Amino acid sequence: MKGLKLEGVGRVSGGEYDSIKLQGVSSCSDNIKAEDIEIEGVFTCGGEVEAGRMYCQGVADFKSNIRAKKVIVSGVFNLKEGAKLEAAEISCEGVIRTGGEIYADLLRADGCITAREVYGDNITIETHFPVNRIVKLFKTTKSDIKLIEATTIKLSGVTADTVNGTDITIGPNCKINSIDCSGALYVDSSSTVENITGNYARREY
């Protein structure tokens, strides 16, 4: 297999790589598979991506599904409506925006996530104020997700329609329409929750 490093403006050919490092403005219209992908510039990808580790410090647009072991986003990660992001672990200090689904065993986000659905085991989304400069640049100050479903959920600064889980912590500045909880539930006094169902026990923070 091969390694690829692009520093200027160029196109990435589809196929299998050991590692891909993109520092300029690049695009790819085919599927790519690599053990390690680093995006520091601007990248547009039309094909599916399969990776061991994906690191995005720049701005990346994906039109198809992404499947990786670990995804680290400190830049902006856009997925087209309907495209799926699947990873064992996702860490987001920047922005992830998708009209589709995100699946992760472990998701830790200090930045912003806009998604239709987020599913997983342990999901923490704490969108802080003030947010980092990339988040400010994209004028995104609150995470907005239609459905979050996981075993353990911890949220701050999140607007969501539905949150379903076993243990749920709703921190400050959240606006949730409905929660279904079957374990321990905490709701911060600065957050609003319209409906709560399930066999849950209220707990102190």
Partner 1 sequence: MNLISKKDLLAVTGISYGQLYRWKRERLIPEEWFLKQSAYTGQETFFPREQILSRIKSILDLKDIYSLEELAKILSPESSVEKISLGDLTEVEEINKELLEVLPEVFGEDQFEFFEVALSIAISQAAERLGLSGEAAKNLLKKSAAAALKHKTVTIFCTIFTVGEEYHTVFTPNSVAMSFDNEVELKEELALSEITDKIKMKYKHLFIK
Nearer to partner 1 by Cβ, of 119 and 186: the residue is 119
DSSP code per residue over 63-95: SS-EEEEEEEESSEEEE-TT--EEEEEEEESSE
Nearer to partner 1 by Cβ, of 88 and 184: the residue is 88
Task: Tell me the two tokens of residue 157.
Answer: 């600064």
Nearer to partner 1 by Cβ, of 40 and 121: the residue is 121
CA dihedral of 130, 134, 135, 140, whole degrees rounded to 10: 130
Strands 25-28 and 9-11: parallel
| DSSP 3-state of 133 | helix
Task: Tell me the two tokens of residue 75.
Answer: 């830049």
Could you tell me the smallest distance in angstroms from the CB atom of residue 154 to partner 1?
14
Could you tell me the smallest distance in angstroms from the CB atom of residue 186 to partner 1?
18
Name the site residues for partner 1 (rule: CB under 8 A). 86, 88, 103, 105, 119-122, 149-152, 162, 164-166, 178, 180
Residue 135: φ, ψ to 5°: -65, -40
Q: Is 136 within 8 Å of 76 (Cβ atoms)? A: no
Could you tell me the smallest distance in angstroms from the CB atom of residue 86 to partner 1?
5
Nearer to partner 1 by Cβ, of 44 and 177: the residue is 177
Q: In this structure, is the dihedral angle defined by the CA atoms of residues 165, 171, 174 and 177, taken in order, positive or negative?
A: positive
Could you tell me the smallest distance in angstroms from the CB atom of residue 198 to partner 1?
9
Nearer to partner 1 by Cβ, of 22 and 54: the residue is 54
Could you tell me the smallest distance in angstroms from the CB atom of residue 182 to partner 1?
8
